[in-house]
Structure 1
Amino acid sequence: MKSLKILLPKSQPTNPNPQPSMLRDRRLLLLLAAGSLTTMAGGVVAPVLPEVVQQLQLNPVLAGNLVSMHCLTIALFSPFLGILADRFSRLKVLVPSLILYAIFGVAGALMSNFWPLLATRALLGAASGGIAAASLGLLGSLYEEPERSQAIGYATSTLTLTGILFPLLGGWVGASHWQFAFYLYAVGLPLALLALFFLPEKQQQPGKGLALDGKQLSALLKRSQTLRLLLTLSLASGIMYAFLIYVPQYLKQTLAAGTVVNGIVLASTAIGAALISALGSSRISQKWGLDRAIALGFGLMAAMLVAIAQLDTLSAIVPAAVFFGVGFGLALPSLYAALANLAPSTMRSSLLAAGTGAGFLGQFLSPVFLGPVLGAGGITAVFYAAAIVAMVAGLLLVAPSR
Structure 2
Amino acid sequence: MEYTGTLWEKYVSEEERKKKKKEKKLEDKRWAVVSIASIPLVMTLGNSMLIPVLPTMEKELDITPFQSSLIITVYSVVAIIFIPIAGYLSDRWGRKRVIIPSLLLAAIGGVISAFTAWQLQNAYWLILIGRTLQGIGAAGAFPIVLPLIGDMFHSEDKVSSSLGIIETANTLGKVLSPILGAVFASVIWFLPFFSIPVFCTISVLMMVFLVKSPKIEEGPKLNEFLRKTKKIYKHNRRWLKSIFFIGGILMFILFGVLFYLSSVLESKYGIGNIKKGFFLAIPLGALCIASYIAGKAIKENKSLMKWVTFIGLILLAISTVVLSFFESLWLLIGLFVIGGIGIGISLPCLDSLITSGIEEEFRGTISSVYSSMRFIGVAFGPPIIAILMKKSNILIFYLLGGLAVLCVLVCLFGIKPEKHTVR
Provide the TM-score with structure 2 as the length reference. 0.71
Alpha carbons of 1:143 and 1:98: their partners in 2 closer, same or farther (altered >3 Å)? same
Given that 1:298 and 1:394 are in contact with CA atoms closer than 8 Å, whether structure 2 keeps it comes out as no
- Residue equivalent to 2:264: 250
From 290, 296, 302, the counterpart of 2:320? 302
What residue ranges of structure 1 are gaps of 5+ in the alignment?
1-17
Q: What is the identity, as a one-letter code, of the residue corresponding to 2:217?
A: Q
Alpha carbons of 1:125 and 1:372: their partners in 2 closer, same or farther (altered >3 Å)? same
Q: Deviations over 1:157-197 (max 9, x none)?
A: 43343333333322332334442222220221344355455
- Residue equivalent to 1:189: 201
Alpha carbons of 1:362 and 1:288: their partners in 2 closer, same or farther (altered >3 Å)? closer
Q: Cα offset for 1:122?
A: 3.2
Q: Does 1:293 align with 2:293?
A: no
Q: Cα offset for 1:89?
A: 5.1
Alpha carbons of 1:154 and 1:316: their partners in 2 closer, same or farther (altered >3 Å)? closer
Q: Cα offset for 1:214?
A: 1.9
Alpha carbons of 1:140 and 1:127: their partners in 2 closer, same or farther (altered >3 Å)? same
Q: Does 1:23 align with 2:27?
A: yes
Rounded to whole Å, the distance in 2 between the matches of 1:194 and 1:275 is 24
- Residue equivalent to 2:137: 127
Q: Cα offset for 1:215?
A: 3.4
Given that 1:296 and 1:331 are in contact with CA atoms closer than 8 Å, whether structure 2 keeps it comes out as no
Q: Cα offset for 1:219?
A: 0.5
- Residue equivalent to 2:228: 213
Given that 2:112 and 2:130 are in contact with CA atoms closer than 8 Å, whether structure 1 keeps it comes out as yes
Q: What is the identity, as a one-letter code, of the residue corresponding to 2:175?
A: I
Given that 1:272 and 1:325 are in contact with CA atoms closer than 8 Å, whether structure 2 keeps it comes out as yes
Q: What is the identity, as a one-letter code, of the residue corresponding to 1:95?
A: I
Q: Cα offset for 1:79?
A: 2.2
**Structure 1 segment 74-113 matched on structure 2, within 5 A:** 74-88=79-93, 90-109=95-114, 110-111=116-117
Alpha carbons of 1:83 and 1:179: their partners in 2 closer, same or farther (altered >3 Å)? same
Which stretch of structure 1 is more off in the superposition, 72-81 or 379-388? Answer: 379-388
Q: Deviations over 1:48-77 (max 9, x none)?
A: 334445655654466545434423322321
Q: Cα offset for 1:251?
A: 1.6
Q: Does 1:363 align with 2:378?
A: yes
Give me the identity figure in percent: 20
Describe the SS at the equivalent of 1:256. Answer: coil
Q: Cα offset for 1:290?
A: 5.4
Alpha carbons of 1:318 and 1:294: their partners in 2 closer, same or farther (altered >3 Å)? closer
**Structure 1 segment 1-400 matched on structure 2, within 5 A:** 19=23, 21-23=25-27, 26-53=31-58, 56=61, 58-60=63-65, 63-88=68-93, 90-109=95-114, 110-111=116-117, 117-133=127-143, 135=145, 139=149, 144-145=154-155, 149=159, 151-187=162-198, 188-193=200-205, 195-196=207-208, 203-207=215-219, 210=225, 213-220=228-235, 223-279=237-293, 286=304, 289=307, 292-303=310-321, 305-306=323-324, 310-311=327-328, 313=329, 315-336=330-351, 350-374=365-389, 376-377=390-391, 382=396, 385-397=399-411
Given that 1:51 and 1:178 are in contact with CA atoms closer than 8 Å, whether structure 2 keeps it comes out as yes
Describe the SS at the equivalent of 1:353. Answer: helix
Describe the SS at the equivalent of 1:174. Answer: helix
Q: Cα offset for 1:205?
A: 1.5
Q: Cα offset for 1:99?
A: 2.1
Given that 1:102 and 1:186 are in contact with CA atoms closer than 8 Å, whether structure 2 keeps it comes out as yes
Provide the TM-score with structure 1 as the length reference. 0.74
Rounded to whole Å, the distance in 2 between the matches of 1:154 and 1:349 is 19
**Count of residue pairs brought into register by the alignment:** 378
Rounded to whole Å, the distance in 1 between the matches of 2:305 and 2:109 is 46
Which stretch of structure 1 is more off in the superposition, 264-273 or 228-237? Answer: 228-237
| Structure with bigger gyration radius | 2
Q: What is the identity, as a one-letter code, of the residue corresponding to 2:382?
A: P
**Larger helix fraction of residues:** 2
Q: Deviations over 1:116-162 (max 9, x none)?
A: 54443333121011122555565555555479626445434433433
Given that 1:293 and 1:334 are in contact with CA atoms closer than 8 Å, whether structure 2 keeps it comes out as no
Q: Cα offset for 1:198?
A: 5.5
Rounded to whole Å, the distance in 2 between the matches of 1:56 and 1:210 is 46
Given that 1:301 and 1:328 are in contact with CA atoms closer than 8 Å, whether structure 2 keeps it comes out as no
Q: What is the identity, as a one-letter code, of the residue corresponding to 1:163?
A: K
Q: What is the identity, as a one-letter code, of the residue corresponding to 1:162?
A: G
RMSD: 4.1
Given that 1:141 and 1:202 are in contact with CA atoms closer than 8 Å, whether structure 2 keeps it comes out as yes
Alpha carbons of 1:65 and 1:294: their partners in 2 closer, same or farther (altered >3 Å)? farther
Describe the SS at the equivalent of 1:255. Answer: coil
Q: Deviations over 1:329-381 (max 9, x none)?
A: 2444455566679767876665443322211112212234334334x427776
Given that 2:110 and 2:194 are in contact with CA atoms closer than 8 Å, whether structure 1 keeps it comes out as yes
Q: Deviations over 1:16-61 (max 9, x none)?
A: xx95653356544433323432222333223333444565565446
Q: Cα offset for 1:325?
A: 1.0
Rounded to whole Å, the distance in 1 between the matches of 2:388 and 2:204 is 41
Q: What is the identity, as a one-letter code, of the residue corresponding to 1:306?
A: S
What residue ranges of structure 2 are gaps of 5+ in the alignment?
1-21, 416-423
Q: Cα offset for 1:261?
A: 2.0
